[in-house]
Structure 1
Amino acid sequence: MTTIKVIELIGESQKSWTEAVENAIAEACETIDGISGVEILSLKGTVRDGKIVEYKANVQLAFPVRDKREQNL
């Protein structure tokens, strides 16, 4: 039986909401193994002079909980 953990993150980009989601996933992958799903909760942006200058994506990422703890030798 697999237990899944879900965490919530906010990714940021200066180019697009897609890149903001991808940035959140890429950064999480640096410390979390086995990410298997993403849910986009909301998309927000910062506007200056009539243009979007920062894109933010609030996401939930899912990954399996490990069966056993790794032992540091």
Structure 2
Amino acid sequence: MAILKVIEVLSSSEVSWEAATREAVAQAAKSLKNIRSVYVQDQSAVVKDGQVSEFRVNLKITFELE
């Protein structure tokens, strides 16, 4: 039987929500093994001078414990 754990992480990107998600998973993978899935819980953006300047995501990352 597998035991899974879920952690919540925040990430941002100047490019897109997808880039922010990929960066969060890449960073988490440096210290977590067996990442199984990622759930995008929330998305938001920062607006400066009438332009979107930053994309933000709130993610839940699921990984298997050894």
For the superposition of Structure 1 and Structure 2, which TM-score range results when normalised by the shorter chain?
over 0.9
**2:17 aligns to what?**
17
TM-score by length of 2: 0.96
The Cα of 1:61 is off from its aligned counterpart by 0.3
Measured in 2, the distance between the counterparts of 1:7 and 1:40 equals 12
Measured in 2, the distance between the counterparts of 1:2 and 1:34 equals 11
Percent identity, please.
30
Q: Which has the higher contact order (CA 8 A, sep 6+)?
A: 2
Offset from partner CA, 1:15-35 (integer Å, 9 cap, x none): 000001111100000100110
Measured in 2, the distance between the counterparts of 1:59 and 1:6 equals 10
Provide the alpha-carbon RMSD of the alignment: 0.6
Give the 4+ runs in structure 1 shifted more than 3 A.
none
Indicate if the aligned counterparts of 1:2 and 1:65 stay in contact, CA closer than 8 A. yes
- AA aligned opposite 2:18: T
Measured in 2, the distance between the counterparts of 1:60 and 1:45 equals 18
**2:43 aligns to what?**
43
Unaligned runs of 5+ in 1: 67-73
TM-score by length of 1: 0.88
Offset from partner CA, 1:12-68 (integer Å, 9 cap, x none): 1010000011111000001001101010000011100111101110000000011xx
Count of matched residue pairs: 66
